[in-house]
């Protein structure tokens, strides 16, 4: 299949901010005396901020108002954004940068499709602020993955039909979103074992074998 564009999830695909998310959510969970560990954190991958907090609140001994939820998720994001300031171009691997450059040289449009509202900030930190042809993120969607909205918006921004776009994801929710949006997908990392993707990648540069 010949693809005109590739839509990349950001966290876990282009770069890794899992540890910063974990530290920020842990600070909030500790404040509320809620147990929080890596297993719970893994359930939050590819999920919106409020949905992530609702998962954490499954272990909360009490009832929380929407107003309080907004307060705590805002506090979490402020902690997270402060941690993100530690990111730099060192957080963009040579393999990822070289692969992206080669895809661009082949004339393939490149986009981000991320549920994060901090996607542009992160891209600036790692030196890719102006690199992508389109960015679809948590700021322009109503529904987070596995809803396909973030990927369909990316295709719309690229002025391409969904079937001409290939999605690259490390989370099962992202692969399900690609399927729901009528797009082929590449799984990388933990998502490979789900067997939901069109292609499974052993490493990031294997995309070059798919996007010919």
Residue tagged active-site, from 11, 137, 170, 184: 11
103-110's contacts with Cβ under 8 Å and 24+ in sequence apart are 103/6, 103/207, 103/208, 103/211, 106/211, 108/3, 108/4, 108/5, 108/6, 108/211, 109/4, 109/5, 109/6, 109/133, 109/134, 109/158, 109/160, 110/5, 110/6, 110/8
Q: Is 190 part of the annotated catalytic residue set? A: no
Residue tagged active-site, from 9, 147, 170, 184: 9
Q: Is 30 part of the annotated catalytic residue set? A: no
CA-CA distance, 199 to 64, in Å (whole number)?
42
CB 17 within 8 A of CB 193: no
Active site residues: 9, 11
């Amino acid at each position: 299949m010949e693809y005109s564009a590739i839509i990349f999830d950001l966290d876990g695909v282009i770069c890794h901010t899992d540890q910063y998310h974990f530290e920020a959510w842990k600070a909030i969970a500790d404040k509320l005396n809620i147990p929080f560990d890596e297993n719970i954190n893994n359930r939050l991958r590819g999920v919106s901020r409020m949905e992530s907090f609702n998962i954490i609140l499954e272990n909360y001994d009490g009832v929380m108002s929407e107003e309080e939820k907004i307060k705590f998720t805002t506090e979490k994001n402020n902690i997270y954004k402060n941690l993100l300031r530690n990111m730099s171009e060192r957080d963009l691997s040579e393999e990822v940068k070289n692969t992206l450059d080669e895809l661009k040289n082949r004339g393939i449009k490149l986009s981000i499709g991320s549920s994060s509202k901090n996607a542009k900030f992160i891209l600036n930190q790692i030196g890719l602020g102006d690199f992508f042809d389109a960015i679809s993120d948590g700021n322009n969607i109503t529904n987070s993955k596995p809803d396909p909205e973030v990927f369909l918006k990316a295709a719309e921004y690229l002025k391409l039909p969904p079937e001409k776009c290939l999605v690259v994801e490390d989370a099962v929710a992202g692969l399900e979103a690609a399927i729901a949006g009528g797009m082929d997908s590449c799984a990388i990392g933990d998502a490979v074992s789900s067997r939901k993707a069109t292609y499974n990648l052993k490493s990031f540069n294997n995309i070059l074998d798919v996007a010919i």
